[in-house]
């Protein structure tokens, strides 16, 4: 077992191949570094001339390792990020040398992309974290391991270094099936699901519009498993036939697909209030609300979805950490209006 390899080690580590060592250099080195770097990252470092074997620089990843070889790896200085840091206010819930936990507001895009090359969470984190970002894949940037839609608010964790990035990414890939990862959301939906709690198991894939997702009949092609567990927490405007105008629903993810909660709740006939993509046909339901609830709902310009809870294992200490973010003001205003019905 090797000590974690970070820039704080003066970016240099020397390893001695054991008596039973064999196989490709990149495979052996990735295993020796205990998952701190992916094999692709190790391969890239070798090709960049950052690895020596017995004092000679090796640029061929498939070079065979031999018992007794002395392998030295030198991390290059992290490159400056392509996105530039921007002084965008952040609500920081927790921060240390390995990660940062923030409460993302609605309206903030997570990652730069087409139409949003600036003003994103990544730009804000580069500015906020500064030199505490030791490099993800050799670039001084934050490690995004999960995302929230632009108009979804709530708790997010972001890695500051390769080791934290890989550990957190593995937890999110496992979806909490074997570890402590936990993700819970609050959603305000139209109507009330027939069952007060249940599971939506419906594969998701691309719709005709590449930015949208849709429920698919079977997995396959671009369709991937998607499972959402829900529980109705509050009901508003109940009728004698047990139907109601709207509900507050807690959703917990067993998988983490793009737009998963939004698509799944629309699939069972209860889209999120304010969702322009998957609940647009339900907007006229607001006309059934008395004032001021009608006006408040009509002026909500985003889906009523908030990631209020996140739990995970700290990648360095092993401690299970829990974070909660209170429901934001715009959603709380809607809830207060609906509770008065």
CB–CB of 25/85 below 8 Å?
A: no
State the number of CA atoms in the 13 A half-sphere of 314 facing the CB. Answer: 16
For residues 322 and 309, the answer to whether their CB atoms sit within 8 Å is: yes
Which of 69, 73, 78, 66 shows the shortest CA–CA distance to 47?
73
Q: Can you give the C-alpha Rg of the chain in angstroms? A: 24
Whether 149 is a known active-site residue: answer yes
CB of 75 closer than 8 Å to CB of 163: no
User: What are the structure tokens assigned to 147, written together?
Assistant: 């995302």
How many CB atoms lie under 10 A from the CB of residue 34? 14
The DSSP code sequence of 203-262 is -EEE-SSTT-EEE-SSSBTTBB--EEEEEEEEEES--TTS--SEEEEEEEESS--TTHHH
Cβ-count burial 154-190 (b if 16+ within 10 Å, e if not) = bbbbbbbbbbbbbbbbebbeebbeeeebebbbbbbbb
Among 26, 69, 149, 330, which one carries the catalytic annotation? 149
Q: Exposed, middle or buried: residue 322 (CB in 10 Å: 0-12, 13-18, 19+)?
A: exposed
d(CA 233, CA 187): 10
C-alpha of 306 from chain center? 14
Cβ–Cβ < 8 Å for 130, 96: no
Which positions are catalytic?
A: 149
């Amino acid at each position: 077992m090797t000590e974690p390899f970070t820039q704080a080690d003066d970016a240099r580590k020397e390893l001695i191949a054991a008596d039973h060592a064999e196989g490709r250099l990149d495979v052996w080195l990735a295993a020796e570094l205990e998952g701190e770097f992916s094999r692709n990252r190790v391969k890239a470092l070798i090709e960049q001339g950052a690895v020596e074997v017995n004092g000679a620089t090796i640029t061929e990843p498939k070079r065979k390792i031999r018992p007794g070889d002395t392998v030295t790896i030198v991390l290059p200085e992290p490159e400056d990020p392509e996105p530039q840091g921007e002084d965008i206010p952040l609500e920081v819930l927790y921060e240390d040398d390995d990660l940062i936990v923030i409460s993302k507001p609605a309206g903030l895009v997570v990652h730069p992309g087409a139409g949003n090359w600036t003003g994103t969470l990544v730009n804000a984190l580069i500015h906020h974290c500064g030199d505490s970002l030791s490099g993800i894949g050799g670039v001084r940037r934050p490690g995004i391991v999960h995302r929230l839609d632009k108009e979804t608010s709530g708790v997010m964790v972001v890695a500051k270094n390769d080791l934290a990035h890989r550990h957190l990414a593995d937890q999110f890939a496992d979806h909490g099936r074997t570890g402590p990862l936990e993700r819970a959301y609050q959603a305000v939906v139209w109507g009330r699901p027939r069952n007060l709690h249940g599971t939506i198991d419906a594969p998701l894939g691309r719709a005709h519009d590449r930015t949208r997702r849709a429920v698919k009949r079977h997995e396959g092609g671009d369709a991937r498993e998607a499972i959402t567990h829900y529980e109705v927490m509050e009901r508003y405007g109940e009728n004698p036939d047990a139907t109601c105008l709207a509900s507050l629903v807690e959703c917990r993810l067993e998988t983490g697909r793009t737009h998963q909660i939004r698509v799944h709740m629309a699939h069972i006939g209860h889209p999120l209030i304010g969702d322009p993509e998957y609940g647009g046909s339900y907007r006229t339901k607001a006309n059934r609300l008395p004032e001021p609830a009608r006006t408040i709902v009509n002026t909500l310009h985003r889906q009523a979805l908030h990631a209020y809870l996140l739990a995970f294992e700290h990648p360095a200490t092993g401690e299970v950490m829990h974070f909660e973010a209170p429901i934001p003001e715009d959603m709380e205003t809607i809830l207060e209006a609906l509770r008065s019905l």
